[in-house]
Structure 1
Amino acid sequence: MKFAFSTLGVPGRPLQEVARLAADSGYQGVELRAHPEEPVHPGIGTTERAEAIREFERAGVEILTVAGYARIASVGEDSPVIKEMESLCRLAKDLGASFVRVFPGGGDLPPAEADAIAARRLGAAAETAADLGVRILLETHDSHRTGADVTRVLGLVGHKHAGALWDVMHTWLGGEAPEATHAALSPFLGYVQVKDVASRDDLTPLPLGRGVLPLAECLAPAAPDGWVCWEYEKRWYPTAPELPGLLTAGREHLLAVIGDRDSGDGSAAAEPSGT
C-alpha cells in the first residue's frame, strides 16, 4: 500500500518543503490542494507547473491528486462547473497527477435533482478527463456524504474516468458502516482518504489512532497496491498541532493497521468505540 498526505495539513508551504517533508517521512505521494491560497492551482502558468514537477521528481514523490473545489451538483449553469473541472483536469495532466478531486455541493436540492445535475456535469467533464489520461473522483462529502449517495451519481454517469474518493469521516458522520461504504464504492473507488477526530461534536483533527474513526474497518478491504491519503485539516483548525511532527507516527499507525489486517488479526487495530 502507498501513502500520501494532503497539503491541507501544511497550508501555504512551498512545494520544495512539501516534497522534502513527504520523502523524509516515508510518504510516496502528496494530494495537492488546488486553491489560490496555495502554490498550485489552475491559474498558474507553464513555468510554475514545470517547476512543481521538478520539485517532486527531485524528492522522488508522486503528485497523486489535484484536490479541486468544483461543486458539481450546485445550483446554476452547467458550463462554469464543467469548465472548472476541465481546467483541473488539464492541471492534473500537466503535473502528472492521476486524479482530480471534486465535491458534490448539492446543498438543499432534492436528492434526485442533485444527482441528475451532478451526473450530467461529471459525464461531460469525464470525456475531457479521458482525453487527458486523468480520473475525476467525487468525494463522499456534504450533500452526498455516504457511499450510497455517491454511487447514485456515478451509476448515472457510467464512465470509467469518473470515480469515487472515500473520505472516511464523512461516511461515518452519515451513519454508513465501512463495509457498506466499501460495497457501494468498490466498483468506482480511486483511493481512501483517512483522518481522525475526537467525536461527532468535535471535528478538530487528531493524530491517526487517537480518535474515534473506524480506520481499521475502513482499511480492511483496501487493495494491497492502493493509495491511502491522510487529510489533516490544519487549514480549518489553526490551533491543531502541526502536521510535520505527526507524519512519521501517522504512517507507522497505518502500517500497523494494515499489518494486522494482512495477518488476519484485527484485534490490535480496533478503533475506540463511539461510532
Structure 2
Amino acid sequence: MNKPTRREALKTTILGGLATALSGTSALAFIARKPRFSFSTLGCPKWDLATIINMAAKSGYQAVEFRGLMGELDLPKSPAFDTAAHIQETRTQFSDRDICICNLGSSAQLHHADAAKRRKNLDDARRFIDLAHELDCPFVRVFPDQLPPDQNRNETLHLISDGLLELGTYAQTSGVTVLLESHGELTRSELLLPIMQAAKHPNVGLIWDIVNMWVDAQEAPAMVYQQLKPFIRHVHVKDLRLVASKHQYVQVGQGEAPLRTAIDALKAGNYRGYYSFEWEKMWHPEIADPEQVIPQYPAVMKTYF
C-alpha cells in the first residue's frame, strides 16, 4: 500500500477533526447559505412586467414580491394575471429567467367587525390565495391594520386571529401560506404575539417589517425576533433617517434603522426566507426613483452577511 503524502495526511487530519466537531449536527447547517433577496413592486409602480423581470435578473435578485402592477393593486384584475392563459404566460416569463414570485400583497384587512366589510376583505384574500396557487407562489400578505376606537380591543384582536385561521384553512390544500404583516396600528409584539398564537396553523405566518416595528413600537429587533421567531416566514427591509423631525426613506445602509441587529438575529435564528426590499415609492413619490435604488439593494445587503 502506498504511503500517503504529507498533503494527503494533513487533509485527512483536518477532515477528521471537522467531522468530530460536526458530530451530532447536520453538516449542511455548518455550511453558510447564501441569503435570498426579493423586492416589492411597491417600489416600482410604473414598471411593466418585462422591466421587473429584467431588473430582478440582472441585479442579483432571486424573487419578486407583487404589491400591484403598473398601478393596479387588485392583482387578479391585472392583465398579467386575469386569465389562465395570462397567468401561465407570466409564470413562464419568470421561470425562463430563474426568478420566483415569492409573495402577493393583498389589501385585505382583518380588523373589520362590520359583517359586509369583513366578508369583502376575506373574499379578496381568497382571490389572492387562488391566484398564488396558480402562480406557484408560496405567500399571500394580509393586514391586521387598525384598532378602531368604536370596537373592543380584545374583540378586534380575536377578529384578526379568527380571520387568519379562516384563510389558513382555505389555503391549506393549495400550498399557500397566509402572512399577517406587522403594519398599521399593530406593530407591537404584545399585540402581534397573542394574535399569532391564537391563529396557530401550518398555513398561517407573519411578515416581520423591521422598520415598522422599530419606528412605531420602538422595540429592539433582537427582542422582537425572539418573541415572534416561530411565526416569521418573510421579512421586509427598508431604511430611513430623521430629517427636520420627519422620517425620510433612504437606501438600505444609509439610515438609522438597526438593520444589522435585526439581520444578525435572523442569521442566528437560521432564518431561510427572503429579505424583501420594500421601497415605498407608490406611497411616497418624492423619494428616489426605483432605477436608483432597486439595482443596488442586493450588493448592499450582502455586506450584512
Is TM > 0.5 for Structure 1 vs Structure 2? yes
Q: Runs of 5+ in structure 1 lacking a partner?
A: 259-275
| CA displacement 1:184-226 (0-9 Å, x = unmatched) | 2111111211001112943332111111111101111223533
Q: How far 1:13 sits from its partner (Å)?
A: 1.4
- Aligned Cα root-mean-square deviation (Å): 1.9
- Of residues 191-200 and 8-17 in structure 1, the stretch that sits farther from structure 2 once superposed is 191-200
Provide closer, same or farther for how the CA distance between residues 39 and 188 of structure 1 changes in structure 2, counting only shifts above 3 A. closer
1:181 to 2:224 alignment: yes
2:140 to 100, 106, 114: 100
Determine the structure 1 residue equivalent to 2:196: 154
Provide closer, same or farther for how the CA distance between residues 188 and 224 of structure 1 changes in structure 2, counting only shifts above 3 A. closer
The structure having more radius of gyration, on CA atoms, is 2
1:207 to 240, 245, 251: 251
Q: How far 1:107 sits from its partner (Å)?
A: 3.4
Q: Runs of 5+ in structure 2 lacking a partner?
A: 1-34
Look up the equivalent residue of 1:106 and give its one-letter code.
Q
1:59 to 2:97 alignment: yes
Q: How far 1:123 sits from its partner (Å)?
A: 0.7
| CA displacement 1:203-250 (0-9 Å, x = unmatched) | 332111111111101111223533100100011111211122223432
TM-score with structure 1 setting the length: 0.88
Look up the equivalent residue of 1:180 and give its one-letter code.
M
1:82 to 2:119 alignment: no
Provide closer, same or farther for how the CA distance between residues 39 and 172 of structure 1 changes in structure 2, counting only shifts above 3 A. closer
1:126 to 2:164 alignment: no
Give the 3-state SS of the residue equivalent to 1:187 in structure 2: helix
Q: How far 1:40 sits from its partner (Å)?
A: 6.9
Give the 3-state SS of the residue equivalent to 1:220 in structure 2: helix
Contact 2:45 2:69 in 1 (8 A): no
2:153 to 81, 102, 111: 111
Provide closer, same or farther for how the CA distance between residues 92 and 189 of structure 1 changes in structure 2, counting only shifts above 3 A. same
1:21 to 2:55 alignment: yes
Contact 2:147 2:153 in 1 (8 A): no
Provide closer, same or farther for how the CA distance between residues 36 and 238 of structure 1 changes in structure 2, counting only shifts above 3 A. closer
Q: How far 1:79 sits from its partner (Å)?
A: 2.3
Look up the equivalent residue of 2:225 and give its one-letter code.
H
Instruction: Tell me, in whole angstroms, the C-alpha distance in 1 between the residues paired with 2:173 and 2:76.
Output: 18
Instruction: Tell me, in whole angstroms, the C-alpha distance in 1 between the residues paired with 2:220 and 2:176.
Output: 29
